């Protein structure tokens, strides 16, 4: 999920906590490594998904693929 407000609403609905991943998907080595080695693994998603709603707040170097709304949300959260 990329929409922070939608993720918050889902936590209330499902009684879960919120896990926020602040990432730099196209220029942050450690962000890419965390995603590749942990956050994207089915076992992690399955287990952590029982207690958490995930939201990824991405700050790529090239923001042209992001909507203005998403860019504004991310800047506000930063």
- Residue 1's pLDDT is what? 83
Which residues, in sequence order, are CB contacts of 5 under 8 Å at separation 6+? 73
Residue 19 has pLDDT above 90, yes or no: yes
- Residue 69's pLDDT is what? 94
Residue 34 has pLDDT above 90, yes or no: yes
Cα→Cα distances 41→21, 30, 34, 36, 60, Å: 15, 16, 10, 7, 22
**Mean pLDDT of the region 36-52:** 96
**Mean pLDDT of the region 67-73:** 94
Q: Which of 18, 4, 1 is nearest to 78 (CA)?
A: 4
């Amino acid at each position: 999920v990329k929409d922070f407000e939608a993720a918050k609403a889902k936590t209330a609905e499902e009684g879960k906590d919120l896990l926020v991943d602040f990432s730099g998907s196209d220029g942050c080595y450690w962000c890419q490594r965390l995603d590749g080695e942990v956050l994207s693994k089915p076992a992690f998603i399955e287990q952590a998904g029982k207690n958490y709603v995930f939201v990824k707040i991405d700050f790529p170097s090239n923001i042209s693929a992001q909507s203005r709304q998403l860019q504004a949300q991310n800047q506000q959260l930063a």
